[in-house]
Amino acid sequence: MTAAIGLAALPAAATAGGKLIGTGGATQIEGAAGGGIVPWAMLGGYGTEGENGATAFFSSVDTGDYRLDAVGAGFVWNNRVEVSFARQDLDTGSLSAAFPALIAPDARIGQDIFGAKLRLLGDTVYGRWPQVALGIQHKRNRDFDIPSAVGARDDSGTDVYLSVGRLLLAGLAGRNVYLNGTIRSTRANELGLLGFGGPDNDGRELVAEASAAIFLDRRTAIGVEYRQKPDNLAFADESDWSDVFVAWFPSKNLSLSAAWTDLGSIATLDDQRGLYLSVEAAF
């Protein structure tokens, strides 16, 4: 899963009235500006102070046993507040065969995610302080039958996270490097697709998320992400997620991302690895 930010030759990348190319990042799978699996401190779009920005995205990851599609949009006001919406749709695939008494062969799991992010201080590129942002993601299952059957307590929940990010100019071998760390408070099972809370833990848990990217040129970045996840359900262990990604920004209005993802074990099915693809339009 993926993302990226502005690059080498930063002064040449600047345009009047807007951010540097790439500094809106990509859109992560829950709808916030960031990487593929981790929200970043940056805000989406290319509006600076006094301007507005908007994004729309589609992402898909296929492990063979599962396929998760996500589509959504975001709006940023005054480079200060980001609001977003994402709709996720999970094809249960092989899970239906593993639990035929619980899950119909054509069953799908979906949820809607309403997000908001506030830039508290700092800037991704300039100034003394890194950019710091506070975000929330309110998640609602569209169908609670399967999450309830596997032990989830609730069909909705709200994640709260704090992200810190900074672009280090000429940070490694003369190339720009972006670093981001996120702390999240959550009760979500598999991002919320399997509901919230469970018999093993029904309270909130603090989990850590991290991303690092190096920019090969002004429009191309490669990097890694890691996301801790809680383990609330008794019927199966929940794994942390990671990915290795590449992101390309052919223009300010378009970003394309691809990643090899390692999602571990999901609902008793092990070795969930596969290709993630994402496209984002930014304005």
Task: Please name the residues in contact with 191: beta carbons below 8 A apart, sequence gap of 6 or more.
Answer: 29, 30, 88, 111, 139
What integer pLDDT is reported at residue 9 of this predicted model? 30
pLDDT at position 101 is: 66
Q: pLDDT class for 215, splitting at 50, 70, 90?
A: very high
With beta carbons less than 8 A apart as the criterion, state whether 267 and 95 touch.
yes
Mean pLDDT over the full length of the chain:
89
| Per-residue pLDDT reduced to its tens digit, 43-83 | 998 778 888 889 999 999 999 999 999 999 999 999 999 99
In the predicted model, is pLDDT for residue 3 greater than 70?
no
pTM score of the predicted model: 0.90
Average pLDDT over residues 236-245: 96
pLDDT at 15: 36
Q: At a CB cut-off of 8 Å and minimum separation 6, what does 57 contact?
A: 26, 27, 31, 70, 71, 72, 73, 278, 279, 280, 281
Q: What per-residue confidence (pLDDT) applies to 22? A: 67
64 in Cβ contact with 31 (< 8 Å): no
Q: How buried is 134 (Cβ within 10 angstroms: 0-12 exposed, 13-18 middle, 19+ buried)?
A: middle
Per-residue model confidence as pLDDT tens digits over 78-125 = 999 999 999 999 988 777 776 766 666 677 899 999 999 999 999 999
Q: Quick check: 133 and 175 in contact, CB under 8 A?
A: no
